[in-house]
Chains A and B, each alone.
Chain A
Amino acid sequence: MSSLRRFSLRPPFPLSKPTWPGGVDRPPLDRKTGMNFDTDWSRRFPARVARAALVDDVFAPIIKVMASPRVSGLDRLASLPDDEPVIFAANHHSHFDTTILLTAVPERFRHKLVVAAASDYFFDNRVKGAVWALAIGAFPIERTKVSRRSADQAAELLDDGWSLIIFPEGGRSPHGWGQPFRAGAAYLAIRCHRAVVPVHLEGTRRVMRKGARLPTPSTVHVTFGRPMRADDGEDARVFAARIEREVAALADEQATDWWSARRRAAAGTTPPLTGPEAGAWRRTWSLGEGRRRRHGPRWPA
C-alpha cells in the first residue's frame, strides 16, 4: 500500500487538499469548482462531436484491449421508445466502469448520454472538471448528502432528452463487494417518469480496482436488465431496493444462468451484491481474489 501511495498521482494529505468527511456540511463555495462547475458547454454540438470521436475512436479500442467486454441483455432495451431517455444504474467497482458502459450502451443512447460524477472528486479543480466533462459527459452531483440542486440538474437533463449513467452505490467499492444502493436514481426516475435500466458490470475490479495504479487486462461482462419503472405511489427508497435486487439478479445470471437466477430471484434467495453476512476476513476470502500483485522491485532485486 505504501508503495502504491508513493507512486500515486495524488500525494497524501497534507501535501494534497483534504477530502471532506461525509457527515460534515460544506460551506457554500464561491469558486467555480465542485457543484458550481459549469458543464453546459460540454453538451453543445462541438463538444458532443469531440466526445463521440473520443468514445468511438479512442475509448472503444482501449476498452476492447483492456477489458474485452462481453455484452448481453441489449435485447431487453428493444421495447424502449427511440426518443425516450433512460437512466442506466450500474454497480461500481472501477474507474473503467464508466468508459465500458459508454461504449457498451446502444448507439441511440450513447451520443446523448451524461454521467453523474461526484462533485468532490471529479470537479475539485477546473482542469480536471473540464477533462471529465468533455471526455465522458460528466456533470457534478453531490454524493455525500441529499442535494436539491443535484436532483434539479439531473432532472433537467433527463427532461431535455439526455440519458443518464448513475452509480447508485455513490462510489467505487473499497473491498470488492457491492455497497447499498442510494435512492438518487430511483428518485429521478419517479420524478421524471423515466425508466431505469439496471446494469451489472462483472470483472472491472480485476481490470483496475480502487487504489490500483495501473490497469490489468481482463475480461469484463456487461449485463443489461429489463427496464424498470416505479409503481404508482412507490417510494424512492423502495424502488432503489428493487433496482438493487435486479442488479443482484443480473449478477447471479452472469455467474450461473438466466433460469437459475430467475428462480432464485422469485424465491428471494438471490445472493446480495453486498456479499455474505460474515466477518471481514471471510467476506474477503469469499471474493476469491487471491493476493494483490506487488508493484515495484522485490528484494533482493
Chain B
Amino acid sequence: MPRPGFVLEVDRSTPPTLFQHGDGFRLEKLPVGARVIYPAEPLEAIADPDDAIRDALLNPLGDSQPLPTLLRAGMKLTIAFDDVSLPLPPMRRPDVRQRVIESVLDMAADAGVDDVVLIAALALHRRMTEVELRQAVGDRVYDAFEPHGLLWQHDAEDPDGMVHLGVTDQGEDVEINKRAATSDLLIYVNINLVAMDGGHKSVATGLASYRSLRHHHNVATMQQSRSFMDQHRSELHSSNWRMGRLIAASGVKVFQIESTLNNDTFPPAFDFLQKREWEWSLRDRAAFTAASKALDRTPPRIARQIFQSQRAPYGVTSVQAGEVEAVHEQTTANVYRQQLVSVEGQTDVLTMGLPYICPYNVNSIMNPILVMCLGLGYFFNLYRGKPLVRPGGVLVMSHPTPWEFHPVHHPSYIDFFEQVLAETTDPVEIEAKYEESFATDPWYVHLYRTTNAYHGVHPFYMWYWGAHALQHLGGVIVVGGDTRAVRRLGFKPASTLRDALEMAEDVVGRDPSVTHLHTPPILLADVT
C-alpha cells in the first residue's frame, strides 16, 4: 500500500533535505520548524495496461459509443497524440501512447478503415525528431505510417492546413488543424501527467494556431488562473472549454483517450530522488554520493546527456476513453489520487529545487527563460485552493540557470532574452510591445515550420506562464545560478540557501515560515 504524501516539520533530527539543482543535486539543512511537502509514493500500476486500454475503448464514458462501432470502412480517421513535452522524463518503452495507438489501429484495421493519419499535436512546440516520434508511437506504428507520409506533425503556420471554425461567445477565434477538423472521427491520445493536461485543451490547444492560442496564452488569462491545475479556478481551463465546446458544436467528433501515470519517475540509478532522506539505505547514500561527485566533475554537456537519456519507469494507473468532458472528469480524479497532498496554511518563503527538465527542453538545454517558467509557472502553480506562499512572500529556487540556449530548438528565446528582457521583465509590457513582432516574424515562422525550432512567440508564453507568480510574490531568489542570467530575469542571485533565506527576510520580515516543495516526483498541494 503506497503511503500518501505528507508534510514534515523539520526538527533537529531531520537529515539534510534534497534539492534538485538542474543536472545535479544539493543537500540543504532547512531551518528547524520549516515544513517539507513530500509527494505520495507511486500508486500501484495496472498489471495489464493493454487490457485496460481495450476495456476503456469498449466501454467509453459519457454519451460516446464503443470505439469499434464508431469505425467503418471508407471513413476518414485522424489520431492525434501528445508531443514530446509529455511525459517528463520520457517514459520507458513502450510509451502508453504507443499502446493506445496500437489498440486503436487494431480496431481500425478490423473495421477496414484505410484513410488514417496520425498527427503529433505540437501546437507551437518544435517538431519532433524521428527518435522522439519512435519513442512516442513505437517502431511498428512509425514504420507503418511515416514512410507513406501518414505520420504528420501539426503545422500551425500552414495556411492551407488550418480551418477557422468560428468564434466563442467571449470572442475567441477557434482555428484548428484542417485534417483533424474534417475527419469523420478525431481520436486524441493523451497523457495526463498533471491536472492541467487533457480535456478540451488537448484539441483546442494541441491542434490550434497562434490566432487561436493567443486568446488564452496571454498575461490576463494566466493571472486569472489560480491555479491552472485547478479546473474550477482556471481561466485557461475555461477558455479551452469554451473552444472545445465550439469545436464539438461545429461537428468535429472527438473520441478522447486519456491515461494517467503513477509518479515512479526515476530509474533505479536515481531512485533515491524519490525517497525520503531518512529512509535512504546504504545503497541510496552510495548512489547519491557517487552521482553527485561524478556530476560535479562532468562537463555540463555530458551531464545533460546523462540526464536526458533517463527513461522513467512510470506505471499506467488508469485509462479513460469516450466523450471529452466525462473522460476528463475521471482522469482528473485519478491524477489527484496520486498527486494531492493536504497542506495547512501558506508560507512566507517557499523553496524548491528545480530539476534538469521541463516540458520544453526535452533533449535540449534548460535556458534561463525555461528556469523561470518551470519555477514560477509550473511549480508555483502546483496548488489547489491557495498558493503555497502568501501574497508578498518569497520564492527561493535552486538551479544553475546557465546563460545558455539551444540554437536550433530555441532561436527566438535567444532574442527574447537579449532584447526583450534587457528592456523589461513586466509581462504586461512585454505582451503589448513585443509579442506581435516575434509571433509574425517570417524567419521564426520558417524555422518553426522547417526545422526543430519552437515558434517565435513561445518564449513569451513561457514568460506569461509565470505572470501569476510574478504578480503574487514579493521577490524571487535563485540559489546557485549564473549571476548575470538571474539578474537578467529580474531575480536575485544567492550563493547558498542560507544566504537566500537571509535575503528573503528583507522582504517578508524576521523569522519567516519556510516551506520546501520536495518535487519531483510531482505533487499538487491542496492548501487550506
Which residues in A have some Cβ–Cβ distance to B below 8 Å? Answer: 12-15, 17-24, 120, 144, 171, 174
Contacts and interface: CB of A to CB of B under 8 A. Distances in A.
A175 B14 CA distance: 17
Residue from A12, A14, A22, A171 with most neighbouring chain B CB atoms (10 Å): A14
Given A13-B27, A24-B278, A18 B11 contact: no
Contact of B11 (A12, A14, A22, A120): A22
Interface in B28-83: none
Interface of B: 8-16, 27, 276-280, 282, 284-285, 288-289
B13 A174 contact: no
Contacts of A12: 16
Contacts of B276: 24
A225 B277 CA distance: 43
Contacts of A19: 13-15, 278
Contacts of B9: 21, 23
Residue from A19, A120, A171, A174 with most neighbouring chain B CB atoms (10 Å): A19
Contacts of B284: 14
Contacts of A174: 12
B13 A21 contact: yes
A144 B15 contact: no
Nearest to B7: A23
Given A19-B278, A21-B278, A14 B27 contact: yes
B289 A20 contact: no
B285 A14 contact: yes
A142 to B, nearest CB: 12
B11 A21 contact: yes
B277 A18 contact: yes
A21 B14 contact: yes
Contacts of B12: 22, 171, 174
Given A14-B27, A14-B285, A19-B14, A24 B8 contact: yes
Contacts, number: 50
For the complex of A and B, 7 pairs with smallest distance between CB atoms: A18-B15, A14-B285, A21-B14, A22-B11, A18-B278, A19-B13, A13-B15
Given A19-B13, A22-B11, A24-B8, A13 B277 contact: yes
Nearest to B289: A14
Nearest to B11: A22
A13 B25 CA distance: 14
A15 B27 CA distance: 12
A23 B16 contact: no
A121 B15 CA distance: 14
B512 to A, nearest CB: 14
Contacts of A15: 285, 289
A132 B475 CA distance: 51
Contacts of B277: 13, 18
Given A18-B285, A22-B12, A23-B8, 9 more contacts: A14-B288, A17-B282, A18-B15, A18-B279, A21-B9, A21-B10, A21-B13, A22-B13, A22-B14
Contacts of B288: 14
A21 B280 contact: no
A120 B12 CA distance: 13
Residue from A15, A19, A24, A171 with most neighbouring chain B CB atoms (10 Å): A24
Given A13-B15, A15-B285, A20 B27 contact: no
Nearest to A16: B285
Given A13-B277, A14-B288, A15-B285, A21 B8 contact: yes
A120 B13 CA distance: 10
Nearest to A22: B11
A15 B15 CA distance: 12
B13 A144 contact: yes
A21 B9 CA distance: 8
B278 A20 contact: yes
B382 to A, nearest CB: 22
A174 B285 CA distance: 27
B342 to A, nearest CB: 15
A210 B309 CA distance: 46
B272 to A, nearest CB: 9
Contacts of B10: 21
Contacts of A22: 11-14
A261 B451 CA distance: 85
Contacts of A20: 13, 278
A13 B16 contact: yes
A14 B280 contact: yes
Nearest to A23: B9
5 contacts: A13-B15, A18-B285, A21-B13, A23-B9, A120-B13
B41 to A, nearest CB: 13
A301 to B, nearest CB: 28
Contacts of A171: 12
A23 B13 CA distance: 9
A17 B12 CA distance: 15
Nearest to B272: A14
Nearest to A12: B16
Contacts of A17: 282, 285
A24 B8 CA distance: 8
A12 B15 CA distance: 9
A21 B14 CA distance: 4
A18 B288 CA distance: 13
Nearest to A174: B12
A19 B14 CA distance: 6
Contact of B280 (A18, A23, A24, A120): A18
Nearest to A18: B15
A14 B16 CA distance: 9
A23 B32 CA distance: 12
A248 to B, nearest CB: 23
A13 B279 CA distance: 12
B20 to A, nearest CB: 15
A12 B29 CA distance: 11
Nearest to B10: A21
